[in-house]
Chains A and B, each alone.
Chain A
Amino acid sequence: MTVTDQRVEPTPVKELARRTLADREGALAWLFLLPSVVYIIALVAIPFGLAIAFAFSDVSAGDPSFDWAGMVNFARAFDDPVFWRSLGNTFVFTGVSMVFIVLLGKVLANILVADFRGKWVVRFLVLLPWTTPVALSSISWLWLLDSIYSPIDWVLRAVGLLGKGENMVWLGEPGLAMTSVIAVHVWRLVPLAAVILMAGLVAIPRDIDEAAKVDGAGYWRRMLEITIPLVAPVIAVSALFGAIFTFTDMAVVRVLTRGGPNDATQVLSSWAFYRGIDGGDVAGGAAVALFLFPLLLAVAVGILRVVRRIEVD
């Protein structure tokens, strides 16, 4: 037996350290998580903590010093008729928007996964409303819904649905104003829901659908008994996103109506802003804004429970 003298090359210290770090999954996990954790703490946890603190204080726009005020800001909010109107509007805004976001998102997702010529152009166009800055798109809608110069009114006049010189005044009638706000919000969020649902649709194994086809199942039967049950958890997730984005959104309301006419489109988030920043009552605004939290928490918990039940089934 011959023993050969095999010299082992020493590993450079740097490489060793790198390899060691690369091999330590726990450390790597924290390293990769760190930016998200810092982000969440800085931009979510701290503002949330501040909102809670402010809601129990007398902090105003001009006086940042903290003095304990107990429940007085909540009592004032509950005494305020605009708060209750905003709360009701928030539920209407969120509920109606969610239904349309999920329905239209599903329809759009089906179109996006279909194979046809020019698919990429259609996908690009579909995503545009989501990628356009909300302030910009809302200002475009402000013009489209203008009381005098609305192009939508021009079209309605051209097809004879409106008389000469007649206008819908989209943002001046309470019902039409809420409809307009919901429509613009749905227009913005449908692409997001569609992309989420598209991911769910693509993940369904093709052989299930093909097997159903072989068994003679038609389009609607496959859709209702195979596709929708399989993507139900994803639908719930898109509904959750839609609900949270809608519940906390004030951009569309601020640009289109500023809560008007006569607070008919005022929602909790916009009322919190007007009261807290424009009105100078930061503590009062924080109390209104904080009211969103338990409602959002209940919505999130409810939807996630449904998802879990679906997955278990």
Chain B
Amino acid sequence: MNEGVPRVFGRPRTRREVLRAAAAAAMAASVGGASACASEESPTVDPGATGKEPEVTFAEPATKLSGDLKILLWSHFVPSHDTWFDKFAQEWGKRVGVNVVVDHVDQAQIPTRIAAEIQAGEGHDVIQYIATLSQYEPSVLDLKDLVDEASSRWGEQLELCRKSSSNPSTGKFYAYSPGWVPDPGNFRKSLWEPVGFPQGPTTWDELLTGATEIKKSQNVQLGLGMSQEIDSNMVLRALMWSFGASEQDENERVTLNSPETVAAVEYMTNLYKQAMTPEVFSWNAASNNQGLVAGKLSYVVNSISAWRTAQESNPDIADDTFFVPALRGPKAALAAQHVLYNWIVPEHATGADAAKEFLLHYTANFASATYHSKLYDFCAWSDLTPDIGDWLGDDPFGAKPADKLAFLSDAVPWSANIGHPGPASTAIGEVFNTFVIPNMFARAVRGEASPEQAVADAERQVSSIFDKWRAAGLVGG
């Protein structure tokens, strides 16, 4: 007898089950809303897919290890990664005789936590963040030996990871960067098909044409942020690079005030007027994900995590969401990396040897990280993920069509580090974290300054930041 028992998702549920499910859903929604990118629940593997979960490999450490290893890393946007990682780290610890403690915190809290631990001179032995940690260079170990060892085992490290973890001025590897995440364009096929772009835009000009038409005919706006948040920082740099502009050159000289930057700002002003609304000035890092999943945006630039979320929460939208590589501009087709894994070992770390050995073990098994992050994480040593092409071509996690992510096999040529064509230096980090670039675009787009004036003012701010860190010996040029 099930009288009075509600039917939810096919079978009768008790009131307690319904309440639990509601509480879990509310919690997931609140966590998702606060994250920089959307996250989804446990992975659902497509039994028909050809890709299989990789086996974990193990190599004996070079030296006998003991003691504790305290690891701090972000709460991954794909929670199944953390479930795998925690078990993986514990099992390695048991095999090598190290007591491993893993702490996860929201990515936004990590810089504050690192600053506090460095000031206190104690804390975790190894810390991971999803962007460059160049500002901590003076207080962390040089990991050149680790990078050299990894490169001798697995070949050349991906350049964008190398440029985001080393300082050419000091020659120091302030971080170890074994992985990254691409940042493609996400578009709604049902919106772009009627305006003549069934495969989505391929250039910035096509984006302007298509998005304008979609806004006019279907009243759905485009979603490129100009707010003080991380995704705006990423996409606006992609636009600048595609127009041949950049904050610095490869020798770390400030080059922001250029005709190319002005052209990029003018393009964005036009794009905003034709296809966007003022909401893009108010966004936080989760806003474009939420708008895409809700069907309120025609195109955003983001990793695949929002779409993975939609696979669970809104399958119709997920099936209608497709991807394109970086859009081509007058000079190039480049996008910023969406996430860049930086692992640092602070000088105060007592488990530095264990940390380095663990990082080698983690890198050797990066295929597992890629798989358990549902193809979110990409490796800095491509040979370590030999199956990635198969996975992307036949998604093990239920993409429709199964080859929806196949284009990511060629993501490296159209991806660049923050600070491109130079390194992701301390100065670049401060420019990034104080949102100079989104504000430069926003001022011109809102009409508060002409494009030329907005760019000139931004260059003054950037130059001041560069001068300061150059005086500290951390920036070249």
Name A residues whose Cβ lies closer than 8 Å to a Cβ of B: 58, 60-65, 76, 79-82, 139, 142-143, 147-149, 165, 167, 169-173, 177, 257-263, 274-275, 277-282, 284
Contacts and interface: CB of A to CB of B under 8 A. Distances in A.
Given A61-B118, A79-B464, A172-B279, 16 more contacts: A60-B472, A63-B138, A148-B294, A169-B281, A172-B278, A173-B281, A177-B282, A260-B281, A260-B439, A261-B227, A261-B282, A262-B446, A277-B111, A279-B135, A280-B135, A280-B429
Given A61-B114, A165-B219, A261-B227, A279 B278 contact: no
B135 A62 contact: yes
Nearest to B287: A147
Contacts of A262: 281, 439, 442-443, 446, 448
Contact of A258 (B139, B284, B291): B284
Contacts of B465: 279
Nearest to B232: A260
Contacts, number: 131
A143 to B, nearest CB: 8
Contacts of A284: 468
B227 A260 contact: yes
Contact of A62 (B118, B228, B278): B118
Nearest to A271: B434
10 contacts: A60-B135, A63-B139, A139-B30, A142-B284, A148-B296, A172-B280, A173-B281, A260-B438, A263-B228, A263-B439
A253 B207 CA distance: 33
Interface of B is mostly: helix
A262 B444 CA distance: 10
Contacts of A260: 227-228, 281-282, 435, 438-439, 442
A192 B47 CA distance: 59
Interface in B118-152: 118-119, 121, 135-140
B291 A61 contact: no
Nearest to B34: A139
- 9 tightest A-B CB contacts, nearest first: A280-B135, A172-B282, A147-B279, A171-B282, A261-B281, A62-B136, A63-B138, A278-B433, A260-B228
A170 B282 CA distance: 8
A275 B138 contact: no
B46 interface: no
Contacts of A82: 434, 461
Given A62-B118, A63-B138, A139-B34, A280 B282 contact: no
A147 B283 contact: yes
Contact of A281 (B139, B281, B457, B468): B468
B260 to A, nearest CB: 22
B290 interface: yes
Most buried by B among A63, A81, A167, A169: A63
Contact of B139 (A62, A143, A149, A278): A62
A279 B135 CA distance: 8
Interface string B412-449: 00000000000000100110011100110011001010
A148 B119 CA distance: 41
Contacts of A142: 284
B272 to A, nearest CB: 12
Secondary structure at the A interface, as helix, strand, loop or mixed, is: loop
Contact of B282 (A64, A65, A147, A281): A147
B219 to A, nearest CB: 6
Given A61-B135, A277-B112, A81 B457 contact: yes
B122 to A, nearest CB: 12
B271 to A, nearest CB: 16
Contacts of A65: 138
A169 B430 contact: no
A60 B281 contact: no
Contacts of A76: 464, 468
Contacts of A147: 278-279, 282-283, 287
Contacts of A172: 227, 278-282
A143 B33 CA distance: 9
B475 to A, nearest CB: 12
A258 B231 CA distance: 14
B44 interface: no
Contacts of B468: 76, 281, 284
A201 B183 CA distance: 60
Nearest to A166: B277
A212 B421 CA distance: 79
B229 interface: yes
B430 A281 contact: yes
Given A63-B139, A167-B279, A281-B430, A261 B442 contact: yes
A105 B457 CA distance: 42
B115 interface: yes
B143 to A, nearest CB: 15
Interface in B279-315: 279-284, 287, 290-291, 294, 296
Given A80-B461, A81-B461, A165-B219, A61 B111 contact: yes
Contacts of B291: 148
A147 B435 CA distance: 20
Contacts of A63: 138-139, 472
A158 to B, nearest CB: 19
A3 to B, nearest CB: 74
Given A62-B136, A257-B228, A258-B284, A80 B472 contact: no
B177 to A, nearest CB: 17
A165 B277 CA distance: 12
A42 B392 CA distance: 55
A280 B448 CA distance: 29
A80 to B, nearest CB: 7
B278 A64 contact: no
A60 B448 CA distance: 33
A279 B439 CA distance: 16
A112 B354 CA distance: 62
Given A62-B140, A80-B464, A177-B282, A274 B277 contact: no
A79 B468 CA distance: 13
B127 to A, nearest CB: 12
Contacts of A149: 294
B454 to A, nearest CB: 10
A258 B438 CA distance: 13
B114 A278 contact: no
A167 B277 CA distance: 10
Nearest to A265: B228
A185 to B, nearest CB: 18
